[in-house]
């Protein structure tokens, strides 16, 4: 099993550009989520989904969009990148609820 | 507002030492407390503690939940250089769909 796969692993953007971070899981997990990790801040929840067609906002949703058209995929879209969105992004999934999460390897994003 | 506070933020010990990492929390509607280990990339799950399972052990690692004191400790005995990592404490509340609230982590360094 591949688990949770994130692409790309690294990305550099200019301010104002848009992009999509991809996340796919092959464990048939209903729950999927996106976190960002910044030095000294810990992991903070951006958006989450409890199943296909259902998404909701986390702690820091501004500047990000998500959709969940299938159980497997949960892409994160940056609408107009800002330097404050420079971070490491983790996608995570679980069978039910947000307890024992399986994390992807992370995507390091730099916005210039 | 929910809060998770870990201490110390960083710790350097010698191989063979025993370490105790602390996590205190404030949350409404507590469901579970989780510990993760983060080496270079994705956090990996260590333990989940609930009202019905307040003590967990796996090899040299063990964890206890004190619901009265709203805290948890993670113990590592006979430390090895491979234990060097960031240890994250996280809270899950309510129905579990709202995502995990993470502490800032304890950066543990084991010197040979």
Query: What would the pLDDT profile of A5-24 be if each residue is shown by its tens digit?
Result: 999 999 999 999 999 999 99
User: Scanning the structure block, which residue is given the tokens 């030095």?
Assistant: A39
Measure B92 CA to nearest chain A CA, in Å.
Answer: 6
Chains A, B: CB contacts within 8 A come to: 66
Contact residues on chain B for A58, CB-CB shorter than 8 A? 98-99
What are the residues facing B86 on neighbouring strands?
Answer: B38, B107
Low pLDDT (below 70) residues in chain B? 95-97
pLDDT at B28: 79
Question: Burial code of B36-73, b = ≥16 C-beta within 10 A, e = fewer?
Answer: bbbeeebbebbbbbbeeeeebeeeebebebeeeeebbb
pLDDT at B2: 83
A30 touching B, CB under 8 A? no
Cβ separation A103–B44 shorter than 8 A: yes
Res. A33: pLDDT tops 90: yes
Burial class (CB in 10 A: 0-12, 13-18, 19+), A67: middle
Q: What single-letter DSSP state applies at residue B9?
A: S
pLDDT digits (tens, 9 = 90+) for A43-95: 999 999 999 999 999 999 999 999 999 999 999 999 999 999 999 999 999 98
Q: Rg (Cα) of chain B, in Å, rounded? A: 14
Looking at chain A, which residue has its C-alpha nearest residue B40?
Answer: A105
pLDDT at B40: 83
Q: How many CB atoms lie within 10 A of CB A105?
A: 15
Cβ separation A40–B41 shorter than 8 A: no
C-alpha A83: how far from chain center: 17
């Amino acid at each position: 099993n591949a688990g949770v796969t994130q692409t790309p692993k690294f990305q550099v953007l200019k301010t104002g550009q848009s992009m999509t971070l991809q996340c796919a899981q092959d464990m048939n997990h209903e729950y999927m989520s996106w976190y960002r990790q910044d030095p000294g801040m810990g992991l903070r929840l951006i958006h989450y989904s409890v199943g296909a067609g259902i998404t909701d906002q986390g702690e820091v949703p501004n500047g990000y969009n998500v959709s969940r058209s299938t159980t497997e995929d949960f892409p994160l879209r940056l609408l107009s990148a800002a330097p404050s969105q420079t971070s490491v992004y983790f996608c995570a999934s679980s069978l039910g609820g947000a307890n024992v999460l399986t994390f992807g390897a992370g995507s390091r994003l730099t916005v210039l | 507002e929910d809060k998770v506070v870990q201490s110390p933020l960083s710790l350097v010990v010698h191989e063979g030492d025993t370490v105790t990492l602390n996590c205190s929390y404030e949350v409404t509607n507590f469901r579970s407390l989780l510990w993760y280990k983060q080496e270079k990339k994705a956090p990996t799950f260590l333990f989940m503690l609930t009202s019905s399972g307040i003590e967990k052990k796996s090899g040299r690692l063990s964890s206890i939940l004190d619901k009265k004191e709203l805290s948890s400790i993670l113990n590592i005995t006979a430390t090895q250089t491979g234990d060097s990592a960031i240890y994250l404490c996280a809270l899950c509340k309510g129905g579990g769909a709202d995502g995990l609230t993470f502490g800032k982590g304890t950066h543990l360094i084991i010197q040979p």
